[in-house]
Amino acid sequence: MELQYTKLQQETADLQQTFELLAAELAGAARQIVNPGMCPPESLAGRISEARQQFEAVRAEVHGLAEGMMVQPLPALDELADLGSLQRLLESAAAAENNRRGATEEQTAALAVLARILTIAHREKKEFAPLAECHAATGELRDAIAGTAWPERHPDAAALVAGTHPLNSLLTLLDQADDLDEEQWVAQEDAVAALFGRTLVVAASRGKLEFSAGAAPVAEAEEPAVPEPAVAEVAPVPAAAAESEPVEEVPAPEAAAVEQEPEPVAAVEPEPVATAEPEPEPTAEPEPVAVATEPEPERAHEADLVAFAEAVAAEAEPIPVAAAQSLPEPAAEAPEPLVISMADAAPEQPPARVAEAAASAELPAFPDMRIGPAPAEGDDSRRTSPTDPQRPQRWGFWRGSR
C-alpha cells in the first residue's frame, strides 16, 4: 500500500517548480516595466492565479494528512502561508504515517503469533487444564492488542513480534525442539513455567502438544457460522430445479450404469484366458507313464529269460533221452569234475586229523621251531611232524602233487 505522504511530496515538488518559473517570469516583467515601461501581460495574472490555487490545494492535503496522523502541534490552515512551512508539516505527517504503518504491522504480527498459540491442542486429552488456562490468557491478550488504537501501542505486541514473550517460548519448544541446546531449552522451559506452570512445560517437552485447526479461538469459529445458513438457503434452489427437470437426471445414472457395464465385462474376459493357460499343466502325466514303463522292460527281460530257459530246457530234454537210449554209462562220467572239486576241499580234512593226533600224542612243544620252506616234491621227512604249523598246507601240497 502506497503511503499518502509520498504523493504529497511529489505535489509539493511540482508546486515549488511552479513558483520558480513564476518568479522568473515576474522578474522579467518587472524589468520590462522599469526600463522600457511596458505593462505586464494579462497571461501573467492568470499564471499567478493558477499557482495560488495549486498552493492552496497542496496545503489543504498536507494539513489533512497531518491532522489524520495526529501531528502535534498542528498549525492552523491559514498559518501555512509559505511553501517552507508546508514542507515542514509534511515531514511531520510522513513520520507519523510511517509510525502508524509500523504499529499496524506490529499489531498484525502479534495477533498472528497469538492465533498460532490458540491452535495448540493436546494429542491425547481434549480438555487439558494447563493448556486451557494458556488459551484463556492468550485470548485476553489478543483482544487487548486488537483493541489498541494507534498512536498507542500495546506493550506486549513488540515482545511478541521480537520473540521475547513467554508465549513465544512455548512456540519455540514446539517448533524448534531439535535445534535448541540444553541451556536454551532450560531457558524456554523456565519462561513458560513462570507464566503457566510446569505441567504445560512437561506436556510440551514430551511431545504431547501439537498444532491443530480444531483448537481455533471462538472469534474465528464465528466466521464459518455465517456461510452455513447461506449454503442452506442455496440448497433448496437446485432441489426445485431438479424437480422441474427430472428427465435430464434420470438418463444420467442410466448412462453411467451403461458405461460401468463394459468395464466389468472387459475385466472378466482376461480371467478365462488366464485360467486356460494352466490347463496344459495337469497334462504333465508323462512322469507316471515313464515310471510305469520302467518295470515293463524288466518284466519283458524276465519273460525273455524264462522263454530262454524254457528253450534251453526243451533243447536239453532230447539230449539226455537219446543218451539214455544209446549210452547209459557215460552219464556216470559227469561226477568226474565233482572229484576234482572234492580234491580242492580235501585240505580241510588234514587239520582235523592233526588235531586228534596232537591230542593223543602229547608231544613236547618246540619253541625254537621255525617255519621253513616247503619240502621239495617227494620229500616226506617233515610229513610226520604233528607240530609243524604249515602241515595242513604242506599236506594239501603233497597230496595235490601226488
Q: What is the pLDDT of residue 213?
A: 63
User: What is the band of 29 on the pLDDT scale with cuts at 50, 70, 90?
Assistant: confident
Cell, residue 359? 591230542
225 phi, psi to nearest 5 deg: -70, -25
274 phi, psi to nearest 5 deg: -65, -35
Nearest CA to 209 among 292, 118, 297, 139? 118
**Which tens digits make up the pLDDT trace of 259-311?**
444 444 444 444 444 444 444 454 445 454 444 444 444 455 566 776 777 77
Angstrom distance (rounded) from CA 259 to CA 241: 26
Are 51 and 19 in contact, with CB atoms under 8 Å apart? yes
Q: What is the pLDDT of residue 358?
A: 54
Q: What is the pLDDT of residue 139?
A: 92
pTM above 0.75, yes or no: no
DSSP class per residue in 276-332? HTTTTGGG--HHHHHHHHTHHHHHHHHHHHHHHHHHHHHHHTHHHHHHHHH-SGGGG
In the predicted model, is pLDDT for residue 177 greater than 60?
Answer: yes
- Residues 53-74, mean pLDDT to the nearest whole number: 91
Peptide bond into 350 cis (omega under 30): no
Sign of CA dihedral 66, 72, 77, 80: negative
123 phi, psi to nearest 5 deg: -70, -30
Q: What is the pLDDT of residue 265?
A: 40
374 phi, psi to nearest 5 deg: -65, 140
* Cβ contacts of 154 within 8 Å, gap of 6 or more: 107, 110, 144, 145, 148
In the predicted model, is pLDDT for residue 70 greater than 80?
Answer: yes
**Which tens digits make up the pLDDT trace of 301-341?**
566 776 777 776 666 544 443 444 444 454 445 445 444 44
**Which tens digits make up the pLDDT trace of 358-383?**
555 554 554 445 555 555 555 555 55
